[in-house]
Amino acid sequence: MSLILAFVLLLLPNTFGLDNGVGQTPALAWSSWNYFGQDVNETVIKEIADAMVSTGLAKLGFVQINIDSGYLLRNRTPSGDMVVNKTKFPGGMQALSHYLATRDVPLGLGLYTDITNHTCGPDKGGPGAYGYYEHDALQFASWNISYLKVDMCSVDIGIDPASQLKHWGQLRDALNASGHHIYYSICPHSIVPHSGGPGGWWWTNAANGTRPNTYAPPIQWTAEQRKGLANSLLVEFTNLFDFWYKPHWLHARYCPGPKCNTSSPGGFLTNVDAMQEMTKPEYGGPGSWSDGDMLHVCNYGEGNPDAGSGGDDSGMTLIEYQSSLSIWAILASPIIISADLRSLPTRHPDCFKMLLESDEVLVISQDARGLPGRLVYQSTNATDKKALPTTTNIVEQIWARDLVGGKVGVALFNRGENEKMMTFAWNMFGDLGPRTARDAWLKKPIFNKRSPYFTNNITLSVQPHATRVIVLSPKN
């Protein structure tokens, strides 16, 4: 580790709280994990970066390239430095960061570590940051990274909310003190609430004496603590997989087998429900966001089996991938894609076209007010009217989000298997007055018969598993 960098750390003021100036809007990024897994190298990353620029995705705002697990050797040097796998990355991370930053559209390099003593992945992946927070912060800064994802792949620090807050805060402070503005993305653990959604499965099926936990900020943390801790905080029951929903997520990878019918529910729908059940919309905002996890948009089951692609599944449909982008935009979650951008335009041209045409949806995602959408309506197909909403019985949801200029973004989400006429009524959200409506995917206005204005509601047809995204603007 450079003595100059160490000296800089001593000279910089001690910064408490999240004070890095980044993450004012949710991250738009690409990650290696869902498609490439550990099979990632310098050539792949450079080619993905070039494709990010040449395809036009960078101009849409996707300007961050994140390398997940697989770039480090397992052991540190005698002085404690992390060791880059030079077989995979012969030029090293500083040179790679420079390469990304000098593209026609400058890109940032993101890396991955763990708050405990090892990362996830085969053979416990690479070294974790536990015991090396200040040391690693300086090394990451010396590589000029702009994003750091920090996993929690063991329980060395415990899942106690106070202990987690302490350790996540220590690494945050070390990154602040490094002198570099690094987006800090964390994966804390939390006890699953005893309520509806898939959370009920965890409690019912937990072994005797087991306290079911998953990736989410502890519910004991206040909004202020969360906002002062990290730029994004993962919120999910289990990893986001490349399928709509399965009652047992292991069916996507390893079945048939003895664990197939005992694993938890999984799929995009469980992640949507986690964003409702495991956090609160008002906890997100400029500088700190609830993260619904990396998306599989356009992977079509071709990706990394350890990330829930492949196996017996061909991935989601184009409509379902479009819904993924739509819901993450309205919820103000980071949008992190992972497809192989080098071949995407030719292998899956329809999905690639959908990505390029997502600009008006991404405007909602990046809205400067930074107010995440909230659930204003949902219905179920449960015959028992007293039944709690669950992942399997919710058939429609409507989310709405305040935007700049008095506009309102609305997502009409049809989770069911039949086409539905869905109505967003003004009284679900507030006194809106006369409004024009624009379809953010079709990029054209919606008319109320012959009038451009809707006065108290709007009703649209929504296909199964689809999401209509509209922007309601006040009358001039």
Least confident of 136-140, 208-212, 244-248, 395-399: 208-212
6 falls in which pLDDT band (50, 70, 90)?
very low
pLDDT in tens, 323-332: 999 999 999 9
pLDDT for position 12: 36
Q: How far apart are CA 178 and CA 183, in angstroms?
A: 13
| 2 CB-near residues (< 8 Å, 6+ apart) | 138, 142
Least confident of 149-153, 250-254, 283-287, 444-448: 250-254
Q: What are the residues facing 474 on neighbouring strands?
A: 435
Q: How far apart are CA 463 and CA 10, in angstroms?
A: 59
The SS3 assignment for 306 reads helix
pLDDT in tens, 293-305: 999 999 999 988 7
311 falls in which pLDDT band (50, 70, 90)?
low
Q: What are the residues facing 90 on neighbouring strands?
A: none
pLDDT in tens, 15-61: 346 878 999 999 999 999 999 999 999 999 999 999 999 999 999 99
Query: How do beta strands 289-291 and 232-234 pair?
Result: parallel
Q: How far apart are CA 408 and CA 373, in angstroms?
A: 9
| Structure token pair of residue 247 | 């009652």
Tell me the DSSP string of 92-108.
Answer: HHHHHHHHHHTSSS--E
Main-chain phi, psi angles of 41, to 5 degrees: -155, 175
Q: How far apart are CA 351 and CA 357, in angstroms?
A: 10
Residues 206, 218: contact at Cβ < 8 Å?
no
pLDDT for position 205: 65
pLDDT for position 189: 94
Tell me the DSSP string of 221-255.
Answer: S-HHHHHTT-SEEE--SSPPPSSS-BSSGGGGTT-
Tell me the DSSP string of 323-337.
Answer: HHHHHHHHTT--EEE
pLDDT in tens, 11-20: 333 334 687 8
Q: How far apart are CA 203 and CA 214, in angstroms?
A: 12
In this model, does residue 381 exceed pLDDT 80?
A: yes
Which candidate, 99, 108, 173, places its Cα nearest to that of 136?
A: 173
In this model, does residue 348 exceed pLDDT 60?
A: yes
pLDDT in tens, 155-200: 788 889 999 999 999 999 999 999 999 999 999 999 887 665 666 7
pTM here? 0.93
E runs forming strands in 311-456: 335-337, 374-380, 394-402, 408-414, 420-425, 435-439, 444-446
Average pLDDT, the chain: 90
The stretch 242-253 carries a mean pLDDT of 77
Q: How far apart are CA 213 and CA 225, in angstroms?
A: 20
